[in-house]
Amino acid sequence: DDDTTLFTGMIYLGCAIVNAPRSELEVNRNMVILNNQSNQAVQVTLAVPSHSQGAVYLLDPSTNQEIASFCIQQILFCARGPNDTKESKCFAFTCSHSETVETAIFQCHVFRSDDADNVGKILYNFATAFRRTLKAQQQPATSTSQMATTSSTTPATSAADCNLFHFDVTLDIKELDPRSQTYVSCPKDKNVIKMRCNVPKKVVIHISQMSGLQSIKLDKCFGVLLGAGRNIKTSEMNLLEIEDFNKSVDCSTFNIAATWDPTLSQYNLINAETPKDSRMFMTVAVDVVMDLIREPIRFLFEVKVKVFPTNQKFWYFTNKSLYNKFAVRVKEVGGDNDDGGDDDIVRKCVTTSPPPSSSSSPSSSSPPPPSSSLPPSSSPLPSSSSPSPDNDEPLLSGSGAVSKEVTDEALLDSWKDVLIKWHQNVSQRPKTVEGLVRRGVPEALRGEVWQLLVGCTDDQQMFETYRLLIAKDSPSEEMIQRDLNRTFPAHEFFKDVGGGGQESLYKICKAYSVYDEEINYCQGVSFLTAALLLHMPEEQAFCVLTKIMYDYKLRDLFRQDFEDLHLKFYQLERCMEDQLPDLYDHFMDLGLEAHMYASQWFLTLFTAKFPLFLVFYILDLFISEGMSTIFGIALALLKMSRKDLLTLDFEGVLKYFRVHLPKKYRCDEVSKEMINMAISLKPSNKKLKKYETVFKTFRESQLQQEDPVDRLKRDNKRLQETNMRLERENDDLASELVNSKIQLRGELDKVEDKYDYVNKELLLCRSQLVEVEEEKKRLEGEVGQLKDLCRRESEQATSNNAKNMNIIQDYKQICSELSMRIESLSTSHKKELKLIKEVVERCASCRDVIVSRDGSWKDPPTSQQQNAPASESADLSNAIQSEQAIRDLELELAQTKLALVECECKNQELIHQLTSSSSSSPTPPTSSASSSLSSSSSSTNKNNSWLQKTLTSIKEATTNVKAGGITFGGN
- Tens digits of residue pLDDT in 365-379: 333 333 333 333 333
Sign of the C-alpha dihedral, residues 790, 791, 795, 801?
Answer: positive
Is there a contact between 528 and 483 (Cβ–Cβ < 8 Å)?
A: no
Q: Say how many Å lie between the first and final Cα of the chain, rounded.
A: 168
Is there a contact between 389 and 409 (Cβ–Cβ < 8 Å)?
A: no
Structure confidence at residue 338 (pLDDT): 41
Q: What average pLDDT does this structure show over 319-344?
A: 62
Q: Return the minimum-mean-pLDDT range out of 375-384, 567-576, 649-658, 815-824.
A: 375-384
Q: Which amino acid is at 564?
A: D
Q: What average pLDDT does this structure show over 348-361?
A: 44
Q: Which position has the higher pLDDT, 352 or 175?
A: 175
Q: Starting from the edge strand earliest in sequence, which strands make up the sheet with 75-80, in order?
A: 66-71, 55-59, 42-49, 4-18, 106-113, 90-96, 75-80
Question: Does the pLDDT of residue 99 top 60, yes or no?
Answer: no
DSSP 3-state percent helix, strand, coil across the chain (nearest 5): 50, 20, 30
Report the alpha-carbon distance of residue 190 to residue 138 in Å, rounded: 28
Is there a contact between 234 and 315 (Cβ–Cβ < 8 Å)?
A: no
Confidence bin at 384 (pLDDT 50/70/90): very low
Q: What is the CB neighbour count within 10 angstroms for residue 200?
A: 14
Helix-helix angle 685-705:628-640, to 10 degrees: 100
Question: What is the SS3 assignment for 212?
Answer: coil
Q: Which position has the higher pLDDT, 681 or 152?
A: 681
Which burial class, exposed, middle or buried, applies to 494 when counting CB atoms under 10 A from its CB (0-12, 13-18, 19+)?
A: buried
Q: What average pLDDT does this structure show over 626-636?
A: 92
Instruction: Indicate the DSSP class of residue 139.
Output: P
Question: Does the pLDDT of residue 942 top 60, yes or no?
Answer: no
Question: Does the pLDDT of residue 350 top 70, yes or no?
Answer: no
Q: What percent of the chain has pLDDT over 70?
A: 79
Which burial class, exposed, middle or buried, applies to 783 when counting CB atoms under 10 A from its CB (0-12, 13-18, 19+)?
A: middle
Ordered alpha helix ranges (H), 537-580? 538-551, 563-579
Is there a contact between 567 and 697 (Cβ–Cβ < 8 Å)?
A: no
Report the alpha-carbon distance of residue 246 to residue 207 in Å, rounded: 11
Report the alpha-carbon distance of residue 699 to residue 694 in Å, rounded: 9
Structure confidence at residue 782 (pLDDT): 93
Structure confidence at residue 9 (pLDDT): 85
Does the reported pTM lie above 0.85?
no
Q: What percent of the chain has pLDDT over 90?
A: 19
Question: What is the SS3 assignment for 382?
Answer: coil
Is there a contact between 217 and 290 (Cβ–Cβ < 8 Å)?
A: yes
Is there a contact between 172 and 185 (Cβ–Cβ < 8 Å)?
A: yes
Report the alpha-carbon distance of residue 794 to residue 814 in Å, rounded: 30
Q: Look at residues 239, 241, 235 and name the one whose alpha carbon lies nearest to residue 225.
A: 239
Q: Which residues contact 102 (CB under 8 A, 6 or more apart)?
A: 599, 600, 608, 609, 658
Question: pLDDT averaged over the chain?
Answer: 79
Is there a contact between 311 and 244 (Cβ–Cβ < 8 Å)?
A: no
How would DSSP label each residue in 873-915?
HHHHHHHHHHHHHHHHHHHHHHHHHHHHHHHHHHHHHHHHHHH
What backbone torsions phi and psi does residue 962 show, to the nearest 5 degrees?
-60, -40
Which burial class, exposed, middle or buried, applies to 306 when counting CB atoms under 10 A from its CB (0-12, 13-18, 19+)?
A: middle
Confidence bin at 875 (pLDDT 50/70/90): low
Structure confidence at residue 360 (pLDDT): 32
Q: CA of 442: how far to CAs of 411, 675, 915, in Å?
A: 9, 15, 78
Instruction: Indicate the DSSP class of residue 104.
Output: -
Q: Return the minimum-mean-pLDDT range out of 68-82, 112-126, 814-828, 952-966.
A: 952-966
Structure confidence at residue 258 (pLDDT): 92
Question: Does the pLDDT of residue 389 top 50, yes or no?
Answer: no
Q: What average pLDDT does this structure show over 698-709?
A: 77
Q: What average pLDDT does this structure show over 917-921?
A: 62
Report the alpha-carbon distance of residue 143 to residue 137 in Å, rounded: 13
Structure confidence at residue 851 (pLDDT): 65
Structure confidence at residue 136 (pLDDT): 41
**DSSP-assigned beta bridge partners for residue 211:** 166
Q: What is the CB neighbour count within 10 angstroms for residue 531?
A: 27
Q: Look at residues 163, 207, 378, 220 and name the one whose alpha carbon lies nearest to residue 299.
A: 207
- Tens digits of residue pLDDT in 277-329: 778 889 999 988 877 676 778 888 888 899 999 888 876 566 677 888 888 87
Radius of gyration of the chain (CA): 59
**DSSP-assigned beta bridge partners for residue 174:** 185, 202
Is there a contact between 73 and 52 (Cβ–Cβ < 8 Å)?
A: yes
Q: What average pLDDT does this structure show over 776-792?
A: 92
Q: CA of 519: how far to CAs of 528, 538, 595, 708, in Å?
A: 16, 21, 20, 28
Question: What is the SS3 assignment for 923?
Answer: coil
Is there a contact between 808 and 897 (Cβ–Cβ < 8 Å)?
A: yes
Q: What average pLDDT does this structure show over 903-928?
A: 68
Q: Look at residues 551, 385, 322 and name the one whose alpha carbon lies nearest to residue 456.
A: 551
How would DSSP label each residue in 388-415?
PGGGGSPPPTT-S--------HHHHHHH
Q: Which residues contact 406 (CB under 8 A, 6 or more apart)?
A: 412, 442, 444
Is there a contact between 524 and 608 (Cβ–Cβ < 8 Å)?
A: yes
Sign of the C-alpha dihedral, residues 124, 125, 126, 127?
Answer: positive
Q: Look at residues 274, 252, 158, 165 and name the one whose alpha carbon lies nearest to residue 213.
A: 165
Q: What average pLDDT does this structure show over 339-345?
A: 40
Is there a contact between 303 and 88 (Cβ–Cβ < 8 Å)?
A: no
